[in-house]
């Protein structure tokens, strides 16, 4: 879980940028994108085969 402490209320925008950056590094956004829709295992295999070619 990404966690950022805000030192001063004036720097909220900078803290938000730091939080987004840490989420990207931890892969939270990528995981959310993948979990949006359920993909059947057979469909995953088919897509994986297409990517290899």
Domain segments of the chain as ranges? 9-52
How would you classify residue 40: left for phi > 0, otherwise alpha for psi between -120 and 50, otherwise beta? beta
pTM, 2 dp: 0.56
What is the pLDDT at residue 4?
82
Structure confidence at residue 9 (pLDDT) = 73
Q: Which residues contact 22 (CB under 8 A, 6 or more apart)?
A: 2, 3, 4
The pLDDT tens digits for 15-53 are 889 999 999 999 998 888 888 988 899 998 898 888 776
């Amino acid at each position: 879980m990404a966690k950022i402490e805000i030192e001063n209320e004036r720097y909220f925008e900078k803290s938000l940028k730091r939080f987004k950056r840490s989420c990207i590094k931890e892969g939270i956004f990528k995981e959310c994108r993948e979990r949006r829709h359920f993909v059947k295992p057979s469909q995953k295999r088919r897509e994986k085969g297409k990517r290899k070619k």
